[in-house]
Chains A and B, each alone.
Chain A
């Protein structure tokens, strides 16, 4: 157990639907990162939060949004899902910026 908890582990949903992926960071870590791993794009950085505030943004679609709550857990919301959104979504946390990353085991999203 890495200390970073992602739920659910697997998710199957239909096109056009909306889903929420949850990440609980390792105890004491203030920074949360979201990554998407798809077959054609590889591992891509989506977005980062640090102590509740958005810190950096990658190639995140407008249909996707995220937030970090006061208890530091984070949620990634994916809406109007398309087949191409099928991917493995990882959350990682770190105590500060850029060091000590710990990855969760990922959420595998399948859009049918």
Chain B
């Protein structure tokens, strides 16, 4: 079965702190994609990253970094030196390439609050 678990429902940090959002997934497929999306208070879903199952290289984009570990089925997201504008709900999602038409399975989301 496909499943994405974001165990942290809410996280609150003070500006400039580093914060890691956890994501654990379950899939039987060998070919899959993992995603992170940001949903600011305005409501739209903002794409952050896509990672395929064959690429375990960690990725850094500015203050954002992602740690993909197949051995633990985790795809964690770290924000370095957080800013108030990072306050949002963050969703991790899974797509199985060849099953179910490629639909996205979302985790429940982690609400990040960055206080000044």
Contact = CB atoms under 8 A, between A and B. Distances in A.
Interface of A: 2, 31, 33, 35, 42-45, 48, 50, 55-56, 58, 88, 90, 92, 94, 96-99, 101-103, 105-106, 108
Nearest to A46: B103
Contacts of A97: 97-98, 101-102
A50 B96 CA distance: 16
Interface size class of B (residues with CB under 8 A): 20 to 34
Interface of B: 33, 35, 37, 43-45, 47, 50, 91, 93, 95-98, 100-109
B43 A88 contact: yes
Contacts of B33: 98-99
Nearest to B105: A45
Nearest to A58: B103
B103 A43 contact: no
Contacts of B91: 43
Nearest to B106: A43
A82 B12 CA distance: 35
